[in-house]
Amino acid sequence: MPTFDQLVKKVRRELKGFTLDQESVSELAAPMDADDTSFTVDTGTADRVSRGLVEIDDELILVKSVDQTSGQVTVLGLTNGRGREGTTAASHSANALVTSAPAFPRQTIKDAINDAVTGLYPSLEVFATEDFAYNAAQVEYPLPAATRGIWYVVGRWVGPEKVSAPMPNWRYNPQAYSSDFPTGKSIQLFDGVTPGQNIRVVYTKAPATLSANADDFATVTGYADRVADLVVWDACKRLLPGVLTARLQQTSVESTERAQLVSARDIQQAVQTYAALYAEGLQRERDRQFAETPNYATFQGS
């Protein structure tokens, strides 16, 4: 059951092989608040903190100067230097790592992971159920706001058989009258069962994205744990082209030196490899989805 933090670390491990950067790391010598405009790092490693962007937890901070004797680091632009590049200014505990010029900031990886989760839909559905009692005088019933489509509908028979049989004649209404159905989603049933018996609607919805580091992938997104591999591959595919973009800013000497170990062609091939792994895995999961949750519904009027 991978957490958001574990997925971030897994993506970083995959990506670090495509850089020659040995990140310079120090640590906070004391806690810092979200509005602090200076902070103190370990004096023994203060020389590893440089001007420019540093990362502490998920936050990127713009550094103006570093006093290597006292370990005091001054933030450029005061509070304007906190929460840079789309990150959020936050408090940080003592001993939190301070990374200078991170090759792949955590927030960037998190964004890529959530983009990958979102991109799985509608190729992979997330299933949920809605149960209600059948009313002989009622044709249309409300559905949750998260509903994106209907997978199938079954109605419970009366008797000891405990059978819930398919109800083939129904219509999904995604634009229901809000005065009658507050969510704007409803289902119309044209097959009757004994009044009072349970109707179960298996509907589809989009996956939820991850937020906190401790968020469990399966619990939050609604996908099985094994789908996390697809997310990691897609996140790598999204992030690796940034390595090529960064190289465009280097001098020719630096570019030539780095190309001896990891060339642009290597990165392009890696992107293609991750894309192939993702496509193959996605097809496998789609096949499994239909095998494990068969869709035997038919649509009224289709």
CB atoms within 10 A of CB 32: 25
The pTM of this model reads 0.87
Name the domain boundary from 156, 183, 205.
Answer: 205
Question: Could you tell me the pLDDT band of residue 162, with boundaries at 50, 70 and 90?
Answer: confident
Name the domain boundary from 181, 205, 229.
Answer: 205
- Domain span at residue 244 reads 1-21+103-124+210-302
* 159 and 238 belong to one structural domain: no
pLDDT at residue 249, rounded to an integer: 46
Question: Could you tell me the pLDDT band of residue 276, with boundaries at 50, 70 and 90?
Answer: very high
Q: pLDDT of 11-63, one tens digit each?
A: 999 988 765 567 899 999 999 999 999 999 999 999 999 999 999 999 999 99
pLDDT at residue 298, rounded to an integer: 45
Name the domain boundary from 186, 205, 224.
Answer: 205
Residue 237 has pLDDT above 60, yes or no: yes
Residue 230 has pLDDT above 90, yes or no: yes
CB burial string 155-166: b at 16+ within 10 A, e below:
bbeeeeeeebee
d(C-alpha 220, C-alpha 126), whole Å: 11
* 261 and 301 belong to one structural domain: yes
Average pLDDT of the residues in 76-102: 96
* 16 and 76 belong to one structural domain: no
d(C-alpha 224, C-alpha 205), whole Å: 15
The SS3 call for residue 108 is: helix
Q: pLDDT of 117-148, one tens digit each?
A: 999 999 999 999 999 999 999 999 999 999 99
The total of structural domains in the chain comes to 3
* 113 and 80 belong to one structural domain: no
Average pLDDT of the residues in 163-190: 95
DSSP string, 194-254: -TT-EEEEEEEEPPPPP-STT-BHHHHH-S-GGGHHHHHHHHHHHHTHHHHHHHTTS-HHH
Beta bridge partners of 57: none
